[in-house]
Structure 1
Amino acid sequence: MNHLNPAPLVLENRTFDEIEVGESARLTRTLTKDDIELFAVLSGDVNPAHLDEAYARETPFHKVIAHGMWGGTLISNVLGTKLPGPGTIYLSQQLKFLRPVGLGDVITVTVQAVEKRADKHIVVFDCTCTNAEGKPVITGVAEVMAPTEKVRREVPPLPEVRLKRHARFDRLLEVCKDRPAVRTAVVYPCDDTSLIGAVEAAEAGLLQPILIGPASAIQRVAQANQLDISKLELIDVSTPSLAAERGVALVRSGDAAALMKGSLHTDELLHAAMHREHGLRTGRRVSHAYVMDVPDYPRPLIITDAAINILPTLDEKRDIVQNAIDLAHVLSIDAPRVAILSAVETVSSKLSSTLDAAALCKMADRGQIKGGVLDGPLAFDNAVSLAAAHTKHIESPVAGQADVLVVPNLEAGNMLAKQLTFLANADAAGIVLGARAPIILTSRADDERTRIASAAIAVLLATSPTWAAAQGHAGD
């Protein structure tokens, strides 16, 4: 037997003349979460009885109920692939749904020919779906036009379909439910994205926005987007630079616990935030981190720095790494695995990023970086893939299972984050670290889920009892 190229599966039908009354066929299938959610996507039916397990438990059936379409499709499966098989034309069905079907239930579908009509080659089938206890959950009748010619064909390959879930950001919101809404200075929210993001975060119970900017412009944006900002505090300031200074002053005075970027340039906001006398400086270099929910990666992934530090020095990278580790702790990653990225896995004097990686790892050994497990240099594939690391015989507590990816420069980080976003369907929530307060950077490309996740991360940081000290505020 050739195990590398096994014999293909073959479908063979039963023609109208071959089918006998009383003949039957069956299949068995276990209901999975993917089944339910795929049908919801295809049908547009978002009935919480199908999708919300907590809600379904409150129904009289006390369990998640499968979409009725699922049972009908299983019957169609038997008729189209087994009896009669290829060439069958499905004409009608009448089904009764007798019992609920829940996740993990094993369902056996049986169809039995009960009548033949020679004039149009019609066959009538009794259809029954039973659960593992043998109790019927669906019964009914189906009529088909049976094939008249023999068909024998290989089973065509099915396309690979994967549901892209973002449950990790959902868990962030669950944690934030027990935290108070954070007063946040929203600096110059004079475009649709920034004002909508602030209002969404307020409606989600995450932020108490203080809108800072020209009142007339902000109100025009609100009216154009049908946003109710009547209950939000609004400070009338004419220019982006004045708005940034006012927002930073609110944080310094304790009237706000977070800062959120509006439609001004990032440089304008950070110029005010990093002012030596009146800003939010600490003993750390500020850095940006993306918290990414990559559907095919088994854990949240922090990428830093992809937005602020263009060509960071070794000392600046030390702060970038420590900021990311402190963020990971707030996200309940107790000992984050930090991969220092380069193009290769060996140290070379010709590639400065490998030298920095080796130095950072030694700094961690000497206690200059605390709270994480570092390794590098590591190429991207070896940082996130155990298979790739094993192939290259890399023995490391970080390789293949990194929680944090530290990139050599802004260009590399920006490209990596955007590749994951646009090619791997990842969500990327952004936050600025190393200041007295978390700074939320919004982007016009962010969707609602990403904007809300960024706000949730700011809430977790601002309400963490240990984060302020960990950020090095004692060095201010």
Structure 2
Amino acid sequence: MTSLSNTPWDELEIGMEAEIRRICRADDFFVFANITGNMNPKHFPRMKDLEGDDALQEPVAPAMWVSTLVASAVGNKLPGPGTLYKSHNVEFFERAHAGDELVIRVRVTDKLDNHVARLACRVDTTEGKKLLRGCVEVYVPLERMDYQAEEIPGLIVHKHVHFDKLLAEAEPLPPIRTAVVAPETDDSLLGALLAFDHTIINPILIGDEARIHAAAKAVDRDISGFELIHEPNQRMAAALGVRLVHENRAQAVMKGNLHTDDLLGQVVKREGGLRIGRRLSHVFVMDVPGLTHLLLISDAAINIAPDLETKLDITQNAIDLAHSLGIAEPKVGILSAVETVTTKIPSTLDAAAISKMAERGQIKGALGAGPLAMDNAINIGAARTKGIRSMVAGQADILIAPNLESANMLAKELTFIAHAEAGGLVIGAKCPVILTSRADGHKARLVSCAVAALHAHRGQFL
């Protein structure tokens, strides 16, 4: 809680001064854009469409955002709480950029009629760059006010920098030939086409030819240059996609508009499927606003109630994918409802066993800890409050859920409540299997393809 006090009219004197400091952050500029509707790309980072020196600069602070900082000096410091604006007249000089620290100063120059005061204002960087000069006129409160400022609601800027990084890493790689099964709706087709546009995949379209052409027409795309194999039976189309992998004509399989069971039924067949000995599992790769790293969650789509042996494969699959995504030694949190081992909750026993196996090298390439509840797996403050100290607690890169229901709910809560973006991949097969949902947006489908391409290249499938 912040304590604020004002200087009422009778105590205000000419020559009084106040100062505040503020560091420019790119997130501030995104918030300002949402408030004002000013979408000038000069104010945003990662200006991909600009060329020359402008493309390399930190984003420029909007001048009007800089001027609003004067209001914080007036409203918080001098005259302080209870002050209301009458006029604001400023001139701008040099520009501030993200990362600059600004010094905002105000000084009382005149006391006018009707309890109006005029204050000179200036804003500079701590390095001496002159940004703003001007004056404001304000209505000064008549009575003293001591104000305890309650915590105001925080803001999270919904940006997905981790996914942007994955796309940037995948695009320079040779595109992987991908059997896209039943891309017979505009969404399922467009996801594959967007990945082609980003040079991530070369799609082979398998399904009902008429429906695929209708979907292409709906999204106004010409697909005459793509290989298209007519197979109206979706189960047979899935079998054909698997066969293309065995024939080395495809390096990945992507789900279009068909039931997951129809696709995976062909993938897991003992004869002619894509199994390689380990249990298959699904991994959500999530970009959660406010989280400083990617978050992998498994298994949310295939293994309903996995036993300990299956959980070991689920865990190793997720670790292998994390390696492909550039996480050299991922931290794996084995989840349960509590962080203590108890026979009353069987998942705590599995978690403890997996944690010990990771410690002894039976699970390779990661640090593991469990059982962990969700709070102390992902929040280091919660872990310390409960006295849990490990290299994993509070900073897990991978979350292994007790069962399919809990993993699925966790991933979808992050997507639809916390505004995370999610990509999905089936791991443990002869090749990556891109398993998207009908509810997925274009970005999720595109990132799923990028994850598949990175895993195909770095996981030594090719």
TM-score by length of 1: 0.85
Q: Which residue of 2 aligns with 1:50?
A: 43
Partner of 1:105: 100
Structure 1 residue 96 corresponds to structure 2 residue 91: yes
Which residue in the other structure is 1:205 paired with? Answer: 199
- Of 170-179 and 123-132, the range deviating more from structure 2: 123-132
Q: Is the partner of 1:312 in helix, strand or coil? A: coil
Q: Does 1:373 align with 2:367?
A: yes
Residue 69 of structure 2 corresponds to 74
The residue aligned with 1:462 is 456
> CA 1:148–1:265 in structure 2 vs 1: closer, same or farther (change >3 Å)?
closer
Deviation, structure 1 residue 323: 1.1
Q: Contact (CA 8 Å) 2:179, 2:252: kept in 1 or not?
A: yes
CA distance in 2, matches of 1:350, 1:21: 72
- How many residues were matched structurally? 459
Partner of 2:153: 159
1:145-195: CA deviations, max 9, x gaps?
524743525153332223344221121112113311222111111223212
**CA contact 2:83–2:141 (8 Å) conserved in 1:** no
1:277 to 271, 274, 283: 271
Contact 1:193 1:443 in 2 (8 A): no
Paired residue secondary structure (1:102) = coil
Alpha-carbon spacing, 1:20–1:425, altered in 2? closer, same or farther (3 Å): same
Distance 1:361 1:147 in 2: 63
Give distance in 2, aligned partners of 1:393 and 1:84.
Answer: 46
The C-alpha deviation readout for 1:72-116, integer Å capped at 9, x for no partner, is: 101233344444545554344343321121233232333445566
Taking a change above 3 Å as real, the CA distance of residues 112 and 228 of structure 1, as seen in their structure-2 partners, is farther
Residue in structure 2 matched with residue 237 of structure 1 by the alignment: 231
Say yes or no: does 1:299 pair with 2:287.
no
**CA–CA distance in 1 between the matches of 2:80 and 2:380?**
43
Query: Residues 60 and 113 of structure 1: is their aligned pair in 2 closer, same or farther, counting only changes over 3 Å?
Result: farther
Q: Where does 1:3-402 land on structure 2 (aligned, <5 Å)?
A: 9-15=3-9, 24-52=17-45, 58-59=53-54, 63-86=58-81, 88-113=83-108, 118=113, 123-142=117-136, 144=137, 146-147=139-140, 149-150=142-143, 152-157=145-150, 158-361=152-355, 363-364=357-358, 368-402=362-396
Q: Counterpart of 1:42 in structure 2: which amino acid?
A: I
What whole-Å deviation, never above 9, does each CA across 1:318-348 have from its counterpart, x for those lacking one?
2212211211111222222223223344444
Determine the C-alpha separation between the residues in 2 that align with 1:156 and 1:358.
Answer: 45
- Aligned CA distance change for structure 1 residues 42 and 283 (closer, same or farther; 3 Å): same
Call closer, same or farther: CA 1:455–1:44 in 2, change over 3 Å.
Answer: farther
Mark the CA change 1:19 to 1:361 in structure 2 (over 3 Å): closer, same or farther.
closer
Distance between the aligned counterparts of 2:293 and 2:27, measured in 1?
20
> What one-letter code is carried by the residue in structure 2 that aligns with 1:96?
E
- Kindly indicate whether the alpha-carbon contact (under 8 Å) linking 1:341 and 1:376 is maintained by their aligned counterparts in 2: yes
Say if 1:160 and 1:351 are closer, same or farther in 2 by CA, change over 3 A: closer
| Residue ranges of structure 1 left out of the alignment (5+ in a row) | 1-5, 470-476
With over 3 angstroms needed to count, the CA separation of the structure-2 counterparts of 1:80 and 1:455, relative to structure 1, is same
CA distance in 2, matches of 1:316, 1:408: 11
What is the DSSP-based 3-state SS (H/G/I as helix, E as strand, rest coil) of the residue aligned with 1:101? coil
**CA offset at residue 61 of structure 1?**
11
Task: Give, in angstroms, the shift of residue 138 of structure 1.
Answer: 1.4
Residues 292 and 429 of structure 1 are in contact (CA less than 8 Å); yes or no, is this contact kept in structure 2?
yes
Within the alignment, does 1:436 sit opposite 2:420 as a pair? no
Taking the aligned partners of 1:408 and 1:52, their CA distance within structure 2 comes to 40
Aligned residues: CA RMSD: 3.0
Percent same amino acid at aligned positions?
Answer: 45
Equivalent pair of 2:379/2:393 in contact (CA under 8 Å): yes
8 Å contact kept, 2:18–2:106: yes
| Contact 1:108-1:129 within 8 A present in 2 as well | yes
- Rate the CA distance shift 1:235–1:373 in 2: closer, same or farther, 3 A: same
Q: Structure 2-normalised TM-score?
A: 0.88
Q: 1:231 to 1:377 in 2, by over 3 A?
A: same
